[in-house]
Amino acid sequence: MDAPDLAPPPAIADAPPGADRRGPHALPMDKLVIEGGPRLAGAIAVSGAKNAALPILCASLLTAEPLRLSNVPRLNDVRTMRTLLAQMGVAHDATGGALALCAAHIDWPLAPYELVKTMRASILALGPLLARCGEARVSLPGGCAIGLRPVDQHVKGLAAMGAEIDLEHGYIAARARRLRGARYVFDVVTVTGTENLMMAATLAEGTTVLENAAREPEVVDLARCLVAMGARIVGAGTDRIAIDGVDALHGATHAIMPDRIETGTFAAAAAATGGDVVLEGAGADALDAVIDKLRESGASVDVRDGALRVRRDGPLAPFNVRTAPFPGFPTDMQAQMMALATVAPGTSVITETIFENRMMHVQELKRLGADIEVEGNAAIVRGVPRLAGATVMATDLRASAGLVIAGLIADGETTIDRIYHLDRGYERIEDKLGALGARIRRVR
């Protein structure tokens, strides 16, 4: 079946007003320069979750009415998603941390390569476009630094719901007069795969049951938003989600959940520096596995009315981490905990089971004096008394967060290149760490 012959979209519109004028394509060679040593102390507020905001922005495509979001993090990935949606014809207006989106009509059900290559989460537009418009053309996201990251489950699931799908010239071309409810068992637990199919199913004819679904809190936050829009969903947060399709969704208001990975990152930094930090508005209930490992490392963690207090007065202790789908230890915290382990006396073993190449921070940590051997998907980390500052390079979002933590505890000055990776997922990280006493500055 030939792909829907969509006319070419207009040239990518300028970044929407108020968005970062560099746009998602600019790769400015900003650097972070960190003087290691200070113990972090004080309180900072946690931002909204990137990995909840990205699917929820795409949920705006499912209705012609406005979707009003609060607690939206100011991140490059969110700016990129806004650019992508604006290009499709979605109106949006940002005031403060609030963002209103309205897909009254969708001119171009298209996610072009130029944007998708800068942010794989663009694939999250596929399900909503197909459900709302009956057609979609979404560039296949290439691989990325941490792995091949195929999207076969997204495609297979939509096909099971009756979509006709062609893969051609690097694009997924999909068409369906109306999706049909289906029972779909994921071959592998996939977060955005679950989110894509859950969104598509909200407007399908009949009931869809997703088995072996991802249980991540961000999936639950998306489901909460969809239900507020009139969707009928039960089971989000379990591995079996049932969605009764409806004819249309309506507008809603939704507050994005706190970012549990940002919370975990700052908690690991507090433990590494022997500090005392309060993380306000933290998503503590989604961090049990991380809190457990922080305590094992010698930190004390108190959860009190929505805030997380992380302190360490005594010595660090070694610990083992094995990443797994939620509620297991999150892969997005693997690099950060490895940085902490580099100075924990003894031997820690960090095993990555989700992505096949998420160990690139090892080489950079070794430049800072860490003692790490990688065997297959496991890193054997032998604690050293201290790290020594050096120039290192960020390779992906969470690897760069691990390097920041290492820089905070290394003797002397650490310079981290290519921190555009960091800006994708952390809102003004140098301001937040600086507020806690870190000696950190951005060099343009």
Binding site for ligand EPZ (CB under 6 A): 50-51, 54, 121, 147, 149-154, 188, 190-193, 331-332, 354-355, 397-398, 425
Shortest Å, Cβ 201 to ligand EPZ: 16
Shortest Å, Cβ 154 to ligand EPZ: 5
* Cβ proximity to ligand EPZ, 199 vs 410, nearer residue: 199
* Cβ proximity to ligand EPZ, 72 vs 151, nearer residue: 151
> Please, which residues have CB within 8 angstroms of residue 313's CB and are 6 or more apart in sequence?
274, 300
Shortest Å, Cβ 429 to ligand EPZ: 14
| CA terminus-to-terminus distance, the chain | 50
Q: Are strands 183-185 and 164-168 parallel, antiparallel or unpaired?
A: unpaired
Shortest Å, Cβ 119 to ligand EPZ: 8
Q: How far apart are CA 217 and CA 257, in angstroms?
A: 9
Return the number of other C-beta atoms located less than 10 Å from residue 304's C-beta. 9
Q: How far apart are CA 159 and CA 180, in angstroms?
A: 10
Strand, helix or coil for residue 21: coil
Shortest Å, Cβ 165 to ligand EPZ: 13
Per-residue exposure over 209-241, b if at least 16 CB sit within 10 Å of its own CB, e if not? bbebbbbbbbbbbbbbbbbbbbbebebbbeeeb
Task: Taking the CA atoms of 125, 131, 136 and 141 in sequence, report the sign of the dihedral they define.
Answer: positive
* Cβ proximity to ligand EPZ, 152 vs 313, nearer residue: 152
Shortest Å, Cβ 369 to ligand EPZ: 26
- Report in angstroms the alpha-carbon separations of 444 from 27, 389, 419: 12, 20, 10
Q: How far apart are CA 322 and CA 373, in angstroms?
A: 16
Look up residue 31 and give its amino acid. Answer: K
Q: Which helix (H) or strand (E) holds 363?
A: helix 361-367
Catalytic residue, candidates 58, 102, 133, 144: 144
Q: How far apart are CA 358 and CA 444, in angstroms?
A: 27
Q: How far apart are CA 65 and CA 230, in angstroms?
A: 12
Instruction: Evaluate whether 390 touches 365 at the Cβ level (below 8 Å).
Output: no
Q: State yes or no: is 144 an active-site residue.
A: yes
Instruction: Evaluate whether 263 touches 284 at the Cβ level (below 8 Å).
Output: yes
Burial of 119 (C-beta count, 10 Å sphere; 0-12/13-18/19+)? buried
* Cβ proximity to ligand EPZ, 43 vs 185, nearer residue: 185
Return the number of other C-beta atoms located less than 10 Å from residue 1's C-beta. 8
* Cβ proximity to ligand EPZ, 332 vs 430, nearer residue: 332
* Cβ proximity to ligand EPZ, 57 vs 316, nearer residue: 57
* Cβ proximity to ligand EPZ, 185 vs 188, nearer residue: 188
* Cβ proximity to ligand EPZ, 55 vs 275, nearer residue: 55
Positions marked active-site: 144
